[in-house]
Chains A and B, each alone.
Chain A
């Protein structure tokens, strides 16, 4: 018989699960598989087993598929999630839909469509996925956390998380015109929440110490703790010219976590 008082800590989200659990109950990370950490200090985001279940509030999210994973939410009455409309895959008829008020959102657009954050309310099922090969990154937010995320990268977030966004200048790849981009900010206060991101390709995370820096190609940036600062710097190349565009990298400085994706897909922001 399992000792119900024994708990094990997940090394990805630091939540505790039953000692006999194969996957973390809060983030779905496999608990019986060794962490993959590179010599340079990046940790691969846990590869979620197909059909893994994650619990939040009174609701459950099941992660389905491995190449382009689907987040299938079974929302309890009183629970809700918010998301951008382009990630919807299917839903029960009974799931209520509303639109979140996002101050300044009228100026944002995705592929010519207006930027709208929608809210789905339980009870019922609703499922989300994105448009390319990648990984689902589950980031449970403990109370009083602030996380900054690349625009259009979040798949869904529970309604206990508050949402806003800021415009970043110069944060686009030189191949795509460099007009700037938005960064979504997710904040929890007294109650925890669940945040699901989709990273294109593979996702890696590292923790920067205070004052420690890493240079990231802006297209690879996926998320960071809001304690990590991000400054766009033009690289000083020792010789020659780099056309009129210059090479820009984001200097990320700790303390805090930084997440990157290995495949860059650009969504034009107007």
Chain B
């Protein structure tokens, strides 16, 4: 019996579905190893195969080599005329000849990362430039076919080729609580924006109790990044903490995930906040005992998770308002 995937000297990558001549040990479009069995769990998640050390990915006339296994670096060999863009904190090293410039971003001053304005830099070939993140995990290569897009949880983007358009929008997944005396919940969190009373005040909602400020919580971050390929295909590299798992949801099919574990999703996948209250939950045990925050994703489309993620902060106090949520009481 012939393997339909490797007939007639052509190879279709099981991961990104790009075709190649099958003579390499890895897919030239995404770096996934050739001739590995898809590892799918009984529950339906497919484990993304790690890009083998020193594997090469081609884009345009340029190559990206993925180096290392613990915290892999993406080493770009940019041809003249090719360019990539990246957030400044991922730069590892570069040839002195590589030209850097800032990438103009519409409204970019609204975005912050660790207190700094988000600055996207563009690097133009010829020359080598390499990128890495600051946590153990995997480099995930997502080739974008012309006309396709994916949504990526913020802070996972590493680098994209010049043809890929970058935009972002509000996640629309949030809730507010009364700040009151729970100041301890606000230390050093990216997921939590404290003290924005403006929205509540403008709508005249006087439900603040105990004189506290309204706290806004964004379990998924306030914004989500969207990367899209126009007429030309492009390459997107993401960093996933720990291991990466992916599944395709059928139309209307849903799954609940821990919000910070989301790595990326197809734009066709919708999101909503879901809250569960355990039956034996003790109401006074507010900080972690009395509810679970979930992100409900529903298809059609792909969903990718990372196994290592930041802690989700929830002060545990009652919601004032939410972006629209469902709940279930056990």
Residue positions of A touching B, CB distance < 8 A: 36, 38-40, 42, 44, 67, 133-135, 173-175, 200-202, 204, 213-217, 220, 235, 237-243, 245, 247, 249, 251, 260, 262-265
Q: A242-B88, A242-B119 are in contact. List 17 more A-B contacts (CB 8 A).
A: A39-B77, A44-B53, A44-B68, A134-B70, A174-B116, A175-B89, A201-B68, A201-B70, A202-B68, A215-B93, A215-B96, A235-B100, A237-B121, A247-B88, A262-B92, A262-B132, A263-B132
Residue in contact with B96 in the complex, picked from A173, A174, A214, CB distance below 8 Å: A214
10 contacts between A and B (CB under 8 A): A36-B67, A38-B67, A133-B136, A202-B71, A214-B96, A237-B101, A243-B116, A243-B117, A262-B67, A263-B71
Flag if A36 contacts B100 (CB, 8 Å): no
Minimum Cβ distance to chain B for residue A135 (Å) = 7
Q: Would you list which residues of chain B between 112 and 135 have a CB under 8 Å from chain A? A: 114, 116-117, 119, 121, 128, 130, 132-135
In this complex, the interface size class of chain B, counting residues with CB under 8 Å from chain A, is 35 or more
Residues of A within 8 A of B68 (CB): 44, 201-202, 204, 262
- A260 to B88: give the CA distance in the assembly, Å: 18
The reply to whether B96 and A220 contact each other, CB–CB distance below 8 Å, is no
The 6 A-B pairs with the shortest beta carbon distances in the complex, nearest first, are A201-B71, A202-B68, A240-B102, A238-B101, A263-B71, A262-B132
Closest A residue to B69 by CB, please name it: A202
Asked if B138 is an interface residue, CB under 8 A from chain A, the answer is no
Residues of A within 8 A of B314 (CB): none
Shortest Cβ distance from residue B81 to the other chain A in the assembled complex, whole angstroms: 16
> In the docked arrangement, what's the CA distance between A254 and B124, Å?
25
In whole angstroms, how far apart are the Cα atoms of A239 and B95 in the complex? 20
Task: Chain A residues near B88: list those with CB within 8 A.
Answer: 174, 242, 247
Compute how far the CA of A263 lies from the CA of B137 in the bound complex, rounded to whole angstroms.
11
Question: Which residues of chain B are near A260, meaning CB under 8 Å?
Answer: 92-93
Q: Which residues of B contact A216 (CB under 8 A)?
A: 92-93
Q: Indicate whether A215 sits within 8 Å of B95 (C-beta atoms), given known contacts A38-B54, A133-B70, A263-B71.
A: yes
Given known pairs A237-B101, A240-B102, A249-B94, the reply for A262 and B121 (CB within 8 Å) is: no
Contact A36 B75 (CB under 8 A): no
Contact with B100, one of A173, A201, A237, A262 (Cβ below 8 angstroms): A237
CB of B195, distance to nearest CB on chain A (Å): 23
Docked-complex contact A175 and B132, CB < 8 angstroms? no
Decide if A220 touches B116 in the complex (CB within 8 Å).
Answer: no
Residues of chain A lying within 8 A (CB to CB) of residue B121: 237, 247
Is B104 an interface residue, CB under 8 A from the partner? yes
A245 & B116 in contact (Cβ 8 Å cutoff) = yes
Q: How far is the CA of A235 from the CA of B121 in the complex (A)?
A: 11
Residues of B within 8 A of A173 (CB): 89
A202, B228: Cα distance in complex, Å: 31
B91 in the interface (beta carbon within 8 A) = yes
For the complex, what is the distance from the CA of A265 to the CA of B73, rounded to whole Å? Answer: 15
Residue of B nearest to A242 (CB): B119
Determine whether the beta carbon of B70 is less than 8 Å from that of A214: no
Report the bound CA distance from A265 to B92 in whole Å. Answer: 13
Chain B residue nearest to A213 in the complex (CB): B96
Nearest chain A CB to B118's CB is how many angstroms away?
10
